[in-house]
Structure 1
């Protein structure tokens, strides 16, 4: 299962805003978040370097057990795209203790569910079971970390599954094709330019030895994070993890990603158009490269998230209210920021025009929305409402143990700290209108944007008649 976390959500800091739909609680949110965020969460390390995060929630009827690995599609060698996601598939083919489809049968036999995900920055595996089956889930993941037996037959079978997934997800989807082309334009040097699932020709050439080498390099305790959330205590998890995970020996050192970064001189305006008969509603997406929480200066990432919320957080936010409700020139419009990535990430504006409005007119409107903030700033009232909405989302996030497990995992795995979660409310309180105006002016240069257009095919006969009615 591929999750484009870099684009559509983001580690803690933006994932808190992804719990949307709870703006009704916004008025009291600042008061309710007067202390540190998620105070019950604790982390510790085992002797082999494996980090552990515990999210106690006595109300939960299930326990979420997750193992995250500090490796994703951005860490693949040149020419080996797709290997991280391919390996994720193969880890469901069995281990020494759980051969064949025994993992699937075992989890389902105890009434649980399980799955996995791959992003540019990490790979993760999880189960959701009742608490008495937590030791068994740990046993499964410990064995999967160390004892997968790869063979060429399984690789060939799963290769076809991955290629079919790619065909469904990218090759037959105009929107996905446009997204992949825009990533290539926005990231000319950084490996975020590659699709997580990989390029077809490189998937076809991956072999069992390359996959085994990748597994043995990155799947090791010091490169993993265990998250347990639900009706458990810190002492219980320490005891279980000490018995199951602590004895595992590292076969490789912890991985510290060192990826090629983007040279500023390659940032330039580009327009990419995809035409397809399947497109019924034409649309525009404009992307910019912006800093993540890890790569930005203090306050920049928080200001970018607040900018996104002011532009597009609710139907009353600037872009949607102006273009969809008031002037009715678009059927949809908004913005999103992906600030939870390890490296520089993406900010996007998007719109679908209404009636006879053209994509060129939509482009002007979206750039104008950003330019107005860069020129005139935002009001204190806009900033206050956006902050309260984000705080309300964070309050409601605490009602889901599995949701908190995801927040904690996505935060820690890219190199951020538990303290970064706890200090998030104070950092948002410190953001000023001037900081939002500053990031709008600094990062949203139209001459450095990548513009993606989804269009219907050209009717060449009609176009020719219009040019030459005779």
Structure 2
């Protein structure tokens, strides 16, 4: 049955989606901003992710790291993430702490205060994260380079984590400008899921978020459209500390809202989910041509990539069950339900798309999977990325 979602928009443009649930004593409060890696300024790759770290610093009325005190100290949790299309801030607390969390999220939306010392400190943290996840990992450079070679024009080409040179070039003025440009009510989605009184929630949202001012300046938007690949291409990447060579085959895919998205999700699971998947069976076990194999369908708001890499109806039903079970398991908590709503709004423009996605997944047939693979993979040009030991960057 459809979930009793409550949706409203404040006069300042803030979009609010709430879902009351019973039987639990916790509530999830999440604020998602329509800004991600694709919106990084020129020469500032990784900036949206760097800024995510800054949002835990001091505001006009809160000292740094207050969100840890408001969540972890009362038995809750907080987290944040930056993706290609969005940045999200996630909290889950006992329900009696809902009001103060709403106040705190409104406070950091409007009154973040960043100084040079905290900026320098967080930049070091992000650069260390880049070194650990990309440079130290034997295959980190490979996966970090796939968007760059998979896309030709769209800003999705730039990795969300950025580059050390661009991060070092960022300035305090860049941070302040970024906050003013993107962290505003009409660019945000507030999601509340859990045990709350609806009328009381609306009153608190009006009190703390309703008074925030929306700047007159328009929000810059990415308008670049990714063209179809016109010919097969190949690139070789050399890197230190590569124990075994790897190869990745990359095809351009549709945006997340495309009708083929569920079929491609099923195709990805058929190819690489689990030890008995097609790629593992063919490349790892039968041919013994790879130590590991996998695939991914990375579908974003504007475009996507389908990647296969190697280091029957009953089969379809098996992976369908796996995908549906995982999706439903993720929605057993207020935090998981809020996550699904955020993805639905920012990738599909509709909070109810999360429920429709499950229905679409249930309806995918073997013919749908074959047609999607024919359209986006077998009938399309690809980029081949070869990766091996050498004097790489």
Query: TM-score when scaled to structure 2?
Result: 0.89
The structure-2 alpha-carbon separation of the partners of 1:229 and 1:267, relative to structure 1 and needing over 3 Å to count, comes to farther
Structure 2: state its 5+ residue gaps: none
Q: Which residue of 2 aligns with 1:244?
A: 208
Match of 2:280 among 312, 320, 340: 320
Query: 1:70 & 1:136 partners in 2: Cα distance?
Result: 24
Match of 1:388 among 308, 313, 321: 321
Structure 1: state its 5+ residue gaps: 1-34, 353-378, 459-470
The structure-2 alpha-carbon separation of the partners of 1:385 and 1:155, relative to structure 1 and needing over 3 Å to count, comes to closer
1:49-74 CA distance string (max 9 Å, x none): 21122233323343221111000110
Q: Which residue of 1 aligns with 2:372?
A: 439
The structure-2 alpha-carbon separation of the partners of 1:173 and 1:245, relative to structure 1 and needing over 3 Å to count, comes to same
Q: Which residue of 2 aligns with 1:29?
A: none
User: Is 2:276 the counterpart of 1:343?
Assistant: no
Q: Which residue of 1 aligns with 2:261?
A: 301
Q: Which residue of 1 aligns with 2:353?
A: 420
Query: 1:95 & 1:455 partners in 2: Cα distance?
Result: 47
User: Is 2:16 the counterpart of 1:52?
Assistant: yes
Match of 2:143 among 179, 183, 190: 179
1:132-172 CA distance string (max 9 Å, x none): 11111111111100011222333233322322222222233
- Describe how 1:75-90 pairs up with structure 2 within 5 A: 75-90=39-54
Q: Which residue of 1 aligns with 2:189?
A: 225
Give the number of the structure with larger relative contact order, counting CA–CA contacts within 8 Å between residues 6 or more apart: 1
Preserved contact between residue 138 and residue 243 of structure 2 (Cα < 8 Å): no
- Describe how 1:129-140 pairs up with structure 2 within 5 A: 129-140=93-104
> Which protein shows a greater Rg?
1
Deviates more, 1:447-456 or 1:180-189: 447-456
3-state SS of 1:444 partner: helix
Query: 1:108 & 1:400 partners in 2: Cα distance?
Result: 17
Match of 1:449 among 382, 386, 393: 382
Q: Which residue of 2 aligns with 1:262?
A: 226
Q: How far apart are residue 195 of structure 1 and its match? A: 1.6
Query: 2:52 & 2:326 partners in 1: Cα distance?
Result: 31
Q: Which residue of 2 aligns with 1:292?
A: 255
3-state SS of 1:143 partner: helix
3-state SS of 2:177 partner: helix
Query: 2:11 & 2:231 partners in 1: Cα distance?
Result: 44
Preserved contact between residue 12 and residue 212 of structure 2 (Cα < 8 Å): yes
Q: How far apart are residue 326 of structure 1 and its match? A: 5.4
Query: 2:220 & 2:171 partners in 1: Cα distance?
Result: 25
Query: TM-score when scaled to structure 1?
Result: 0.75
3-state SS of 2:337 partner: helix
